[in-house]
């Protein structure tokens, strides 16, 4: 009844090619953005439920936004271009450490040539974006094997990136500015003279980033490049025969995906963690991101958000339930139970809906179109 596009006529090509051609979708998105940009900060400022403590903002919304951004990046590569990557954690780390180095000043002494490369400390925003750029370059380098290797072989090959960079950031003290403990602190967050300190400010910052990148990604995958990626994903040989260059399509997918993941990594380190060590970007992070993308739905930007929310919130809920119910279990048993329930839910979801939440959403839309009539 409410969700029906009857009577919405498209009279121009621009209208026909809009991101959200259905008016109800636009309204829903507007409301969502309104809540995210105005509602949440307002509620949080006045400490109205559920924002009476900073827990929700700090422990759920902030990591959700950043990981959803990373999930969009992974989705570009895995969902749209069909190249399975288990190295996303490494690209997050590259983004984070490059941004850190650029933010604190780079000094490379080239003794052989008799001079040194020195870059003065950059402001936060350029260093985050350049961190993403470094991740993109690394992504292109580690994407080159994808031209020969496919499928699960490629997945294992990308693990090389994961383990190599884990080791690099752990063992090469230059990246951590010779910090004795190996953990580094983010520089002061300063955007055009505005200091970003409180959870609300950090939340808004991440929200702006993810909104911009989600719109960019959505438009990219709708366009020429995205269609090339999808052709490669669906069948690479056939795509090549109709004139798509696999080299260009695959490497751009690696570059765009790694750039987004790198920016997310820099945000994760700078805005969420504050101080971090290489362990924050281990293989577990890569698997977590891949789960988000698959549970959310391969090849769906919206799905990345839902997947990120699900994978992030599920363990927190599982952790809360026993204490809320007052079941007397040792913390160890609870951890193991969490493992079992998390694993079972993943398997259950994969069996029930192998195409993820995105497919559920589109089924829901179809149902809503007919509602309340069954035909």
Partner 1 sequence: MIALGQFLEVLIGGLMSGVLYSLVALGFVLIFKASGVFNFAQGAMVLLAGLALVRSLDLLVAWGFPLWAAIILGIGFAAVIMAITAWLIERFVIGPLVNQDALTLFMSTIGVTFILEGAAQMIFGSDAYPLRLFPTDAWFLFENLFPGGILLNKLDVWGGFIAGILVAGLAIFFERTKTGRALRAVADDHLAAQSVGIPISWIWFVVWLAAGLVALVAATVWGTKLGVQFSITFLALKALPVLIIGGLTSIPGAIVGGFIVGAGEKIAEVFLGSYIGGGIEYWFAYVLALAVLLVRPQGLFGERIIERI
Residues that bind partner 1 in the complex, under the rule CB under 8 A: 78, 84, 145, 148-153, 155-157, 159-160, 163-164, 166-167, 170-172, 235, 237-238, 241, 283, 287, 290-291, 294, 298, 332-333, 335-340, 342-347, 350-351, 354
Q: How many residues does the chain have?
A: 375
Please state the closest distance from residue 236 (CB atom) to partner 1, in A. 8
Of the pair 355, 369, the CB lying nearest partner 1 is at: 355
Q: At its nearest, how many Å lie between partner 1 and the CB of residue 78? A: 8
172 vs 216, which CB is nearer to partner 1?
A: 172
The span from the CA of 74 to the CA of 253, in Å, is 10
Q: In this complex, which beta carbon is closest to partner 1, that of residue 26 or of residue 171?
A: 171
What's the min distance (Å) between Cβ of 4 and partner 1? 34
> Shortest Cβ distance from residue 150 to partner 1 (Å)?
7
- Nearest distance from C-beta of residue 154 to partner 1, angstroms: 8
Q: Which is nearer to partner 1, 273 or 290 (CB)?
A: 290
Cα dihedral 245, 246, 250, 252 in deg (nearest 10)? -10
- Min dist CB 117 to partner 1, Å, is 21
Q: Which is nearer to partner 1, 148 or 328 (CB)?
A: 148
CA distance 144 to 60: 36
Q: Is the peptide bond between 275 and the residue preceding it cis, with omega within 30 degrees of 0?
A: no
């Amino acid at each position: 009844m409410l969700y029906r596009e009857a009577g919405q006529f498209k009279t121009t090509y621009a209208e026909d090619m809009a991101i959200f051609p259905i008016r109800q979708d636009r309204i829903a998105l507007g409301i969502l953005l309104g809540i995210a940009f105005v509602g949440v900060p307002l509620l949080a400022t006045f400490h109205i439920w559920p924002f009476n403590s900073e827990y929700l903002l700090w422990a759920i919304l902030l990591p959700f936004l950043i990981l959803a951004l990373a999930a969009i990046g992974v989705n570009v590569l895995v969902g749209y271009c069909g190249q399975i990557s288990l190295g996303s954690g490494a690209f997050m780390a590259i983004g984070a450490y490059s941004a850190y180095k650029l933010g604190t000043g780079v000094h490379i002494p080239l003794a052989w040539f008799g001079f040194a490369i020195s870059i003065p400390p950059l402001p936060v925003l350029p260093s985050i974006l350049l961190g993403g750029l470094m991740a993109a370059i690394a992504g292109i380098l580690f994407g080159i094997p994808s031209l020969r290797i496919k499928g699960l072989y490629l997945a294992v090959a990308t693990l090389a990136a994961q383990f190599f960079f884990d080791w690099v950031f752990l063992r090469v003290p230059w990246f951590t500015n010779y910090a004795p403990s190996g953990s580094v602190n983010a520089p002061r967050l300063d955007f055009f003279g505005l200091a970003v300190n409180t959870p609300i400010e950090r939340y808004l910052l991440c929200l702006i980033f993810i909104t911009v990148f989600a719109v960019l990604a959505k438009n990219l995958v709708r366009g020429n490049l995205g269609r090339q990626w999808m052709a490669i994903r669906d069948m690479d040989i056939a795509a090549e025969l109709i004139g798509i260059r696999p080299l260009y399509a695959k490497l751009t997918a690696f570059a765009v995906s790694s750039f987004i993941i790198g920016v997310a990594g820099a945000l994760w380190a700078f805005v969420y963690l504050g101080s971090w060590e290489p362990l924050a970007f281990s293989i577990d992070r890569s698997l977590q991101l891949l789960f988000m993308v698959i549970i959310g739905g391969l090849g769906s930007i919206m799905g990345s958000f839902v997947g990120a929310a699900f994978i992030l919130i599920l363990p927190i809920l599982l952790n809360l339930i026993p204490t809320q119910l007052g079941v007397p279990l040792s913390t160890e048993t609870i951890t193991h139970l969490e493992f079992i329930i998390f694993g079972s839910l993943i398997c259950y979801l994969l069996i029930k809906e192998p195409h993820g939440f995105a497919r559920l959403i589109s089924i829901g839309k179809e149902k809503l179109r007919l509602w309340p009539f069954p035909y």
